[in-house]
């Protein structure tokens, strides 16, 4: 069946047949639940599917084959850094000593993992130029919230209680303003300068006694290094505010720019971008946060500490009262951090610099190929960092073909689409990030596919409007999905569409 191409699958529930399965766990003795009061017990078993092992395995293997993945092809999703996920990292995280360690273990029992976490912090501090770090946040946005809550705590501790605004460029990820709201702060959106960079005059006009911080992604979501960042940091610090750096694009600056050295007070890192931990179909990630001296007292608890005798321990509850508290349970997403550690050890200083150099070289090369072709608008001509923007604005004007259509047509040609319609500030945007782990042959093939689609837009627009043609399903009715949400399997409703294959 798989050689004939991926097929849609019935759900687990449609496959279920009463009486199948079993043999995985031993039966408990009769009466094991007698001491549970009847009112507290489940009256009917949950409606979980009953399946044999071969059915479960085939279901998930066949489903997996409906997915595009880094392991199957090029994934130029801008802002997501879809680089290779090394296989040794998976092996490392599954070592029994790491995988089977209970999070409430006494420190004596956990010395190996605690040492790894401490060493990882030291490496990340060196890379970011920060002076202290927490590994607790579970993802980039979680790291953002951690950082912004620390900024609030800093101002509050100084009695500086009117600082209620965060200044964010309009090209920022949606998580930045959403984070500010969760932290009880108001977002002030600042328009970019015509060259795509920071508009220092606009910031100067907005910065004042209400400014808690500026939140800057550098390189920006346009793929440009913020060359005026030094001036902005002076401005905000001069006004008593702090500077947050969104580290989403750290892959572009390893060994080239250390945010802490430049004067940023706090930044988060997305290990699932820069440090190769798998994206997992949406997660998990990890979002370590580095800080400078001003914010160190407010780091979440517990931190990992090294004792004078060389042993390691976690902070005890209440040991550091200035902490903003916990962001989650336990110490952090350690299994993700083991993978990041393996990646950093594999590369070392020279390897990490090469990662950045190759990522930036690949992005500029691909951008050059598209620029030469004249097929797309390239709104920012200057050297880019790890990603760049192309736009279908002119194509749309001429042919009616939009970025969305081009993205779908790329799927027919065997590529994942770039990030589309982001950042919001560019018309018909495609944000393209090749990463350092794609060969020049792949970059050429991708450029050729994009150029071919631009040509098709002129000659056969209908084929593109109707794309994709060769994927397991074609364009979906998202409006119907939202108007009448069906968010779970319901055997009895009768409105179930049967599986077609």
Partner 1 sequence: MAYGPHTPADREHMLAALGMSSVDELFADIAPELRASPLRLDPPEAEQDLMARLGTLAARNRVGLASFLGAGAYRHFAPPLVDQLLLRGEWYTAYTPYQPEVSQGTLQSIYEYESLIAELTGLDVVSASHYDGAAATAEGALMTCRATGRTRVLVSRAIHPHYRETLRTYMSGAGLTVEELPVVADGPAAGTVDLAALERLLADAEGAGPVAGVLAGQPNFLGLLEPMAEIGRLAHAAGALFVAVVEPVSLGVLAPPGSYGADIAAGEGQPLGIALQYGGPYLGVLACTDALVRQIPGRLVGLTTDVDGKRAFVMTLQAREQHIRREKAASNICTNQALLALAASVWLASLGPHGLRDVAAMGAARAAELEGVLAEAGAPRLHPGPYLNEFVVRVPNAAVVHRRLLDRGVVAGLVLADALPDQPELADGLLVCATETTSRDEIELFGWALGEELAGAADPGASSGADSGAANLTGAAR
Judged by CB under 8 A, the chain residues 192 through 221 that form the site for partner 1 are none
C-beta of 294 vs 345, nearer to partner 1: 345
C-beta of 111 vs 394, nearer to partner 1: 111
Please list every residue from 82 through 141 that binds partner 1, using CB under 8 A.
Answer: 82-86, 88, 90-106, 108-113, 115-116, 123, 126-127, 129, 138-141
Residue with tokens 């560019």: 426
Q: Which of 4, 43, 307, 309 binds partner 1 (CB under 8 A)?
A: 43
Q: Which of 208, 240, 284, 461 binds partner 1 (CB under 8 A)?
A: 284
**What is the Cα–Cα distance from 11 to 112, expressed in whole angstroms?**
42
Min separation Cβ 130 and partner 1, Å: 13
Q: Is 191 a binder of partner 1 (CB under 8 A)? A: no
Q: Which of 345, 391, 445, 451 binds partner 1 (CB under 8 A)?
A: 345
Q: Is 374 a binder of partner 1 (CB under 8 A)? A: no
Q: Which of 256, 381, 397, 455 binds partner 1 (CB under 8 A)?
A: 256
Min separation Cβ 207 and partner 1, Å: 19
**What is the Cα–Cα distance from 97 to 338, expressed in whole angstroms?**
12
> Rounded to the nearest 5 degrees, what angle is found at the Cα of 280, between the Cα atoms of 276 and 282?
110
Residue 435's nearest CA partner among 424, 446, 420 is 446
C-beta of 115 vs 394, nearer to partner 1: 115
Q: Which of 76, 78, 80, 290 binds partner 1 (CB under 8 A)?
A: 80
Please list every residue from 390 through 409 that binds partner 1, using CB under 8 A.
Answer: 407-408
Min separation Cβ 200 and partner 1, Å: 14
**What is the Cα–Cα distance from 80 to 434, expressed in whole angstroms?**
10
Over the window 411 to 450, marking each residue x when it contacts partner 1 by CB under 8 A and - when it does not, the resulting string is x----xx-x--x-------------xxxxx----------
Token pair of 382 as six digits: 């200057």
Min separation Cβ 377 and partner 1, Å: 19
Min separation Cβ 417 and partner 1, Å: 5
* Dihedral-angle region of residue 212 (phi above 0 means left; psi in -120 to 50 means alpha; beta otherwise): alpha
H/E stretch holding 123 reads helix 111-128
Token pair of 436 as six digits: 């350092």
Q: Which of 351, 379, 391, 393 binds partner 1 (CB under 8 A)?
A: 351
C-beta of 102 vs 462, nearer to partner 1: 102
Contact at 8 Å (CB) between 315 and 301?
yes
Contact at 8 Å (CB) between 128 and 174?
no
How far is C-alpha 468 from the geometric centre of its chain's CA atoms?
Answer: 26
Span of 209-217, 315-323, 391-399, 452-460 interacting with partner 1 by CB under 8 A: 315-323
Count Cβ atoms below 10 Å from residue 188 Cβ, excluding itself. 18
Residue 291's nearest CA partner among 118, 124, 120, 79 is 124
71, 105, 396 from 457: Cα distances, Å: 30, 61, 9
């Amino acid at each position: 069946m798989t050689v004939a191409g991926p097929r849609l699958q019935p759900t687990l529930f449609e496959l279920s047949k009463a009486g199948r399965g079993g043999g995985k766990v031993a039966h408990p003795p009769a009466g094991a639940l007698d001491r549970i009061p009847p009112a507290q017990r489940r009256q009917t078993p949950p409606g979980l599917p009953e399946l044999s092992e071969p059915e479960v395995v085939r279901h998930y293997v066949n489903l997996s084959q409906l997915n595009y993945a880094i392991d199957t092809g090029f994934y130029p999703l801008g802002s997501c850094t879809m680089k290779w996920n090394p296989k040794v990292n998976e092996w490392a995280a599954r070592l029994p000593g790491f995988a089977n360690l209970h999070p409430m273990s006494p420190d004596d029992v956990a010395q190996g993992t605690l040492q790894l976490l401490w060493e990882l912090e030291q490496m990340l501090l060196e890379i970011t130029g920060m002076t202290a770090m927490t590994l607790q946040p579970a993802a980039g946005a979680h790291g953002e919230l951690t950082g912004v809550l620390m900024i609030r705590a800093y101002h509050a501790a100084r009695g500086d209680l009117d600082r209620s605004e965060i200044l964010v460029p309009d090209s920022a990820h949606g998580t930045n303003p959403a984070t500010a709201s969760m932290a009880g702060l108001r977002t002030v959106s600042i328009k970019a300068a015509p060259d795509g960079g920071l508009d220092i005059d606009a910031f100067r006009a907005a910065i004042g006694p209400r400014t808690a911080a500026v939140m800057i992604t550098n390189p920006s979501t346009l793929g440009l290094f913020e060359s005026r960042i030094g001036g902005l940091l002076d401005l905000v610090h001069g006004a008593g505010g702090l500077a947050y750096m969104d580290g989403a694009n750290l892959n572009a600056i390893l060994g080239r720019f250390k945010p802490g050295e430049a004067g940023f007070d706090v930044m988060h890192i997305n290990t699932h971008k820069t440090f190769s931990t798998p994206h997992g179909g949406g997660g998990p990630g990890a979002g370590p946060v580095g800080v400078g001296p001003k914010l160190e007292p407010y780091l979440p608890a517990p931190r990992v500490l090294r004792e004078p005798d060389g042993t390691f321990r976690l902070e005890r509850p209440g040991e550091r009262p200035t902490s903003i508290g916990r962001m989650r349970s336990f110490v952090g997403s350690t299994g993700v951090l083991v993978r990041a550690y393996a990646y950093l050890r594999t590369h070392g200083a020279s390897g990490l610099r090469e990662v950045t150099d190759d990522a930036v070289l690949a992005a500029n090369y691909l951008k050059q190929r598209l620029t030469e072709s004249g097929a797309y608008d390239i709104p920012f001509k200057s050297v880019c960092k790890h990603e760049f923007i192309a736009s279908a604005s002119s194509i749309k004007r001429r042919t009616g073909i939009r970025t969305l259509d081009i993205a779908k047509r790329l799927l027919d040609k065997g590529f994942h689409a770039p990030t589309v319609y982001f950042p919001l500030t560019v018309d018909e945007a495609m944000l393209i990030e090749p990463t350092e782990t794609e060969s020049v042959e792949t970059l050429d093939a991708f450029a050729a596919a994009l150029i071919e689609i631009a040509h098709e837009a002129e000659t056969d627009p209908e084929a593109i409007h109707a794309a994709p043609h060769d994927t397991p399903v074609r364009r979906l009715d998202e409006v119907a999905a939202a108007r009448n949400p069906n968010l779970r399997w319901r055997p009895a409703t009768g409105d179930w569409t049967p599986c077609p294959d």
